[in-house]
Every structure is written in structure tokens, then in C-alpha cells.
A and B are shown apart, each in its own frame.
Chain A
């Protein structure tokens, strides 16, 4: 079944892009989840939608050749900086940044879509992902983002980990929390923009959080959680893409449903392990 993905170039692009996203989304998602920032991915993805709508508007009205992928990425990165500012302003209510950014993103999208008098099916692809929408240029861009993400996570792993666990301790020990956090949120914005081609705006946060939610149940320690998250992410992407292609369903839906199945499986495994340990303890 997977053979078609190597036969045709457009499917090959999608498959390789999917593998890259299956790596970076859960990798960064591990930090997103443990920092209790899961909804930030949702907020940023909605701003990315505004950026995509803006790009499509420019394309339609002014025939500008700027890919909506880049305008989406630009909006997402700008919104990430704005999220940080809002979290600083509302120190006691940091979660307020999420509805502000999310609703702002949706509002801007509606305005751009209305000004353009609607778009063709392109927008549907951006909402739920597509198996056929990935160009070779998109693949290169996403490969570049993957390399950036891997470099940032490798070089700043210990600082990101320390900050995620105990920000006060990190600051006291001399870590520049603001700079590291800013770097983290910008990289998160890039990953969201990159993932949208495959899973779509509405489901991108799921690919960052569901594999982590599954691995956190059964992993021992942070590095193992990251490793298992990537494995679950890749399994979800491969099964989801193949199923999406054969059943002619946007892959965002099939990828997320596969992730949910893996999550349920991990909950079951954890429960079985727990019951066995309890029985052993009673004996």
C-alpha cells in the first residue's frame, strides 16, 4: 500500500514531509506539554491560518507569487512574540494570551477571506491537511525548519528542560529564561507553520500533544518520553497518510485518529502494568 508514495513525486514529497513533521512536532511538543502550554499551539495555528488567508488574498487580488506557506509562517512567528509580551503583561493570568491570540487569528482570517470574496479548495487543504498539496519547494522549506529545530533542541536541551521543570530555580542558577523562552516559542511557531501542510490548521496542535500524552503514560524520564513521542508521532503520520490517501480523506483526520488510538493503547498498557504491580504487592 505504501508503494504509491514512492512511485509519484507529489506523494513522495508528502511522505518525506510527513516523516519530518512526525519527528519535530512531538519533539517540541514534549516541552509544550510539560510546560502546560498545549493550547498555545492551537492559538498559533489559528494565527497561521490568518497568514495563509493573507497570502491567498495577495495571490488572488495582486497576483503576488508569495507562497501562503511563508505568509503563514511570518504571522505565526510574529504572534509567538506577541504571546510572550501578553504573558509578561498578564503575569497572574498568563493563559489569557491564548484566547486573545486565538480569537485575533480567527478574526483576521475572516476579514481576509471576506475581502478576497472567498477562496477555492486551497483553504480547505490548509484547514485539514492534504496528501497532494506538498510541493518540492515546501519539502525543502520544511527540511530547513527541521534542521533549525534539531539544532535548537540539541544546543539548548538542558536549558529548555531546566526551565520547563522549575523556572524559578533556572533563573536563580543564572539561566536567561526570557531569551530561551523566546527562542522556544519562535521555534514552536515555525513547527506549527511547517505541520499545517500535512495535518491542517485545526489539527496541528494534536500532532504536537497526542503522541506526548501517550508516551508520558508509559515512559520513564524526560528523554524516554521524547523518544517514545517521536515513535508515536511517526507511526501516526505513516498510518494516517496511507489511510488518508486510500480512503480519500484529508490526512489531518486520519493522523489524529491514529494518534488517539495509540493514546488509548498506552492508557491500557499503563493500567495493565499498574494492576500487575498491585497484585504482586498484595502477594
Chain B
């Protein structure tokens, strides 16, 4: 049965009169693992910014958890790991626990303080990503893969239903990428968190995602991985704008 937590209808967006997204119609079903793929400049990050309310669509409508985005207030239901998360100031003096606590800042609210229950939530989120031993370490002293896990913990700490990850594996080594996908499956299968992952790595997505959406200004494809692998070379070339061969592989 259809149970969308995100619905986009006829959404268009342009930066300074340069069309970036045109007539986007799609849904994200609760419990799914959607891989959003597409070339650079295809509008993937713009689409995420629209979903997060950072941009307003010039045309069309967006619904989050059944509520029009203009009226949506429950932003804690959405966790976000940004593309820029890995480019933070590594000299910033913050422990893992302090970084993860930032995910609760808005939820706790202005002029209120963290209590014991919040501290337990922080410890739980850090444990979910397998980093409990590093709770009091400075974030800058961790490896790239470990830092990535901490940013996921920061997104998880407010107990979101939807987790959005914008190219999270950029700059992470192969071994840690594999561990990262194992973690995503755990969150998706066992914790029931809906995932939206933006990536260039279409080959890996065919093994991990339950749905794949291809975006290049418009939505060229939205279906399951087996339907995606059956796309013809002409379809893929039309989508990417150049010759392309998909190499399907496990990490």
C-alpha cells in the first residue's frame, strides 16, 4: 500500500532564471531506501534544499508527512547529513558527544537546557553508529570514515523518520564505504528509517537501494534497481547527455 512521506508535484525551480529543476513529480515511500543519482549540475542538491525548506519552489507543491511544506513544523522528523559535513573545520574543539548534541539543539528549543534524558539519547545515537568508545574524543582526531559516522549520529539523535544524505561517501576510503552501507542497511531494515541518499555511484546503488531515481533537470527514471539495470544504453546516454556504461559492483 502506498504510504508516501514525501510527495512532490510539478515542482520547478530556477536560480537567477536558469532552470535547475523542471516538472518534478515523485514520492518517497515510508521505509524505502531511495538512491538519487544524476550528473553534476543535474539539480540533486537543489532538490534536497527544496525538501529541507531552504528554497521555495517557483511552481508546484511539496508535502512532507502529509503536510504542505509551508505548514510543516516537525523538522525533527528529518535528519540531514550534508555534503559539506566532511569539510568542517578539523581544528574545531568539540568532542563527539558535543557534536552529536547539536542534533538536539532545535528540538530542545531556545532558552532550555539538555537534561539526563537528552544525554542518554546522545549516547544511544553514538552507539547506533558503533562509536561509543569515542564519545569524549575530539572530532578532529578521528578518521574521515569515523567522522562521517558521527555526522550520521548527529542526524539520528533527534529520532528522525527520514534521513537525507548528500553524497556522504565522498573522501571516504573503500573499507569505510562498505561499513557505511552496512550501517545504512541496519538503520533502514531494523530501525525502519526511510533513507534518501544522493550519490554519483549508480553501480553501488543498484545493490543497496530499494528505489532509484535519476535526476538531470527533470526526473528521467524512478523505479527499482532491476528496472534500472534493464535501461538501454540509449536511455542512459539520453539521461546523462553522453555515452555511459553502468558497472554494477559491491563495495
Interface residues of A (CB under 8 A from B): 34, 36, 155-156, 158-159, 161-162, 164-166, 168-175, 216, 219-225
Contacts and interface: CB of A to CB of B under 8 A. Distances in A.
Given A161-B102, A223-B98, A172 B93 contact: no
A216 B158 CA distance: 29
A158 B101 contact: yes
Contacts of A169: 80, 82, 85, 102, 154
Interface residues of B, number: 34
29 contacts: A34-B89, A34-B92, A34-B93, A36-B89, A156-B110, A158-B108, A161-B98, A161-B102, A161-B105, A165-B89, A166-B85, A166-B102, A168-B82, A170-B102, A170-B105, A173-B76, A173-B80, A173-B103, A173-B105, A174-B106, A216-B93, A220-B136, A221-B93, A221-B98, A221-B138, A222-B92, A222-B95, A223-B98, A225-B93
Given A220-B138, A225-B93, A174 B75 contact: yes
Given A166-B88, A220-B95, A175 B138 contact: no
B138 A173 contact: no
Given A156-B110, A156-B111, A173-B105, A165 B92 contact: yes
Interface-centre pick from A166, A173, A225 (highest chain B CB count, 10 A): A173
Most buried by B among A34, A156, A216, A221: A221
B52 A165 contact: no
B1 interface: no
Question: In the complex, which of the residues B101, B102, B138 has the most CB atoms of chain A within 10 Å of its own CB atom?
Answer: B102
Interface string B140-180: 00000000000000100010000000000000000000000
B127 to A, nearest CB: 19
B153 to A, nearest CB: 13
B102 A165 contact: yes
A252 B91 CA distance: 29
Contacts of B82: 166, 168-169, 172
A94 B165 CA distance: 28
A166 B103 CA distance: 11
A36 B93 CA distance: 13
Contacts of A168: 82, 84
A219 B93 contact: yes
A82 to B, nearest CB: 26
Given A156-B111, A158-B114, A222-B94, A172 B52 contact: yes
Nearest to A219: B93
Contacts of B103: 173
Contact of B105 (A34, A155, A175, A224): A175
A95 B1 CA distance: 53
Contacts of B113: 158
Closest 4 CB pairs of A and B: A221-B95, A173-B106, A174-B106, A225-B93
